[in-house]
Amino acid sequence: MTLNAENEINSYKQCVLYLWRSHNIVNKRLRYENDSNDPNWPKIPFPNQQQCNKCIEKLDENDDALEYNENEINFISIKEVPHFP
């Protein structure tokens, strides 16, 4: 994931999208590990369909996003961005 980061990131938007993709990859992996099931920090993809309906192009059987429309993703306008304690 990080091996080619410096070649893939050439702008602020690419940096944000890279971090966002990484977050979702890790959350997907951790979701099914028993020792990471903290109910205060659910391992769900971000954004979900309620937060940004236009962002998601394809869902799987669990309503998890399989494909995002990255042109629609604007983190400033996504509704209900989680706030950290």
- Residue range 64-81, pLDDT digits in tens: 666 787 777 666 555 455
Q: Is residue 43 part of a domain?
A: yes
Inter-residue long-range contacts of 64-73, CB under 8 Å, 24+ positions, other chains counted: 64/28, 65/24, 70/17, 73/17, 73/20, 73/47
DSSP assignment of 14-51: HHHHHHHHHHHHHHHHHTT-GGG--TTS----SS-TTT
Q: How confident is the model at residue 63 (pLDDT cuts 50, 70, 90)?
A: low
Q: Is residue 62 part of a domain?
A: yes
Q: Is residue 23 part of a domain?
A: yes
Domain range for 39 is 8-68
* Count of domains forming the chain: 1
Q: How confident is the model at residue 12 (pLDDT cuts 50, 70, 90)?
A: confident
Phi-psi region of 80 (alpha: psi -120 to 50; beta: other; left: phi over 0): left
pLDDT of 37 higher than 60: yes
CATH for 44: 1.20.120.310
pLDDT value of position 84 = 46
How much of the chain exceeds pLDDT 90, in percent? 0
Q: Is residue 52 part of a domain?
A: yes
User: How much is the pTM?
Assistant: 0.67
